[in-house]
Chain A
């Protein structure tokens, strides 16, 4: 602050508007939602204060809650596993394709499509063969009839079908991020390595990986947080069904607040989600700070 040679007042004046907006649209709603989490309220009538009852029910008595937490975390883990794949694709693109821009844009295409369109598209692909489902008909055509499933209605596979669609949609996104990261690594470094005898994948091992870690981190954080808030795609494709088999935290919250009209209970789920997001972000940052220090 002293370096800038501006009075504290000026700094405050410039920071204030942004700070106010941030507080009023982020912090205040979080606090309000934490408070409504302490109420027994249907969202319309009188609210009664019940203390931590909602949280107690949520954490210890709700048979739907922990399974949906598990599905949410699985979602996050799967989408993190996707990042190395995206990195691999990006490396291949950089090394073997002379003009990769067209390919990168086509991989990126699903990201700019509306989730509703993607949901409808995959719903038709997943349809039973008798209803014209592409996947099932394909399996039948190549003689894998025993592999056909009612992908979105069979509780044991429905969630995985949803994971897959999300992974498919965002592969291009992360490939683009990784690709940009790789392009930003100066060519001289590779040339120098070539002289030292490091080529192809050994160059990746010693140059690309260490230098791309900050970008890698961005992708991981984005995919993790993104999958914690997964909502629209699930709503479009299964609505959390059959019988909560594809409910994640956010869809459960929606069901509770708006369909079961337990607004207070829904808010306590929201509060839980906030806490999970915060912890996860801190954790990821910590892990990467360590590894960044090791390499740089």
Chain B
């Protein structure tokens, strides 16, 4: 009974969050829309589009540009009213799952690429967007190949707001203080970790309570020991198993890093923000994360002291130009939307204007569309320029684990990696755990 009350109240609180944001954001626009519709439009019917999004933070450039674009669209199309439902990422994921269970997906929502959005596509909850992509040349604005992560059987179901890669941020000042250089091999990286440690500087920070953080780093190591991308794909296709030597080698390397004391004590109770803050406040020297973190780091106290480097080779294996790829969260349209044409028209216009506005708001590092303009002249920081340079060197890579495998296997993996922070385990056992979970979830 308690559990039901629990889940019930969870769902309630989620919807409560949603509706409160709705009422806040719509109230100012209410009067203007009704006024204009009565005078100007006669034929066009009034339409309200619900726009669920993950930009609730008013200081985030993406929140500002979304509000700006929405207001502008409402002004140009008096019959269209756009209701924003702004939630943070975890809330949105949960709310969408709850809504999907009762087939009440909002007109526009946010999904994640590949394996994570597959259940929604299979349940026919999302509308194919091919026709809309062809309008006004929207398709051409996206980076080549990016839309493939959001396409199933030739139809594209979502439009990404970002495309990032995994890099190691480092604090130049702390590196100088310890007299270490940027490592080019994993073995050098271990030495750097030990040197930093001996000088009393915490080498790396991580927010491992959220589990995907450690997995993201681990997968980059697997990308190296496997000598290239596609390990998980091979497992899915049953060409390899998790008991492959490449996987065990990655586990060993990862454990070496943990045992060398790279990460802060008690890492598993630090959530993502707390982990990132260690780096942002200059308490740790290195931080492995997707390039989406750049904006936050630039506005922190370590701004100007930060450099980035590619994750190095392990035992001479792998190519540093292959990265962990993180195609971003993406806008999708509900297949059951009552105003499908209007919603498509709005999203088309929104995405066409997205890169330009993002560039102006200094949020264009790591967006999924091609951007025209001189970043340097527009005042982007050195770190941002360095990352833009790295983007040009990308020669493929892998997606994160939970974007490749089904949720059941992914959860088992995430827990298994988190465990490596708490206790040392035999790589054979870790491999067996993974294989067992994979088999149990792919009957």
Contact = CB atoms under 8 A, between A and B. Distances in A.
A188 B250 CA distance: 76
Contacts, number: 130
Contacts of B5: 229
Interface in B1-58: 1-8
Contacts of B101: 43-44, 263
Given A29-B8, A154-B422, A44 B100 contact: yes
Given A126-B269, A153-B269, A261-B407, A131 B264 contact: yes
Given A128-B265, A152-B268, A260-B411, A277 B422 contact: no
A238 B266 CA distance: 10
Interface residues of A, number: 53
A226 to B, nearest CB: 9
Contacts of B94: 258
A146 to B, nearest CB: 16
B119 interface: yes
A46 B123 contact: yes
B6 A153 contact: no
Given A228-B2, A261-B407, A262-B408, A44 B423 contact: no
A241 B211 CA distance: 9
A245 B264 CA distance: 19
A44 B418 contact: no
Given A128-B265, A154-B422, A277 B100 contact: no
B168 interface: no
B267 interface: yes
A4 interface: no
A177 to B, nearest CB: 20
A254 B408 CA distance: 13
Given A127-B266, A130-B265, A155 B1 contact: no
Given A44-B100, A242-B268, A229 B2 contact: yes
Contacts of B211: 239, 241
Interface in A214-268: 225, 228-229, 231, 237-239, 241-245, 249-250, 253-255, 257-263
A259 B94 CA distance: 9
A242 B418 contact: yes
A238 to B, nearest CB: 6
A77 interface: no
A155 B422 contact: yes
Contact of A243 (B4, B264, B267, B416): B416
Contacts of A131: 264-266
B2 A153 contact: no
B264 A229 contact: no
5 contacts: A33-B3, A152-B266, A153-B421, A239-B209, A273-B1
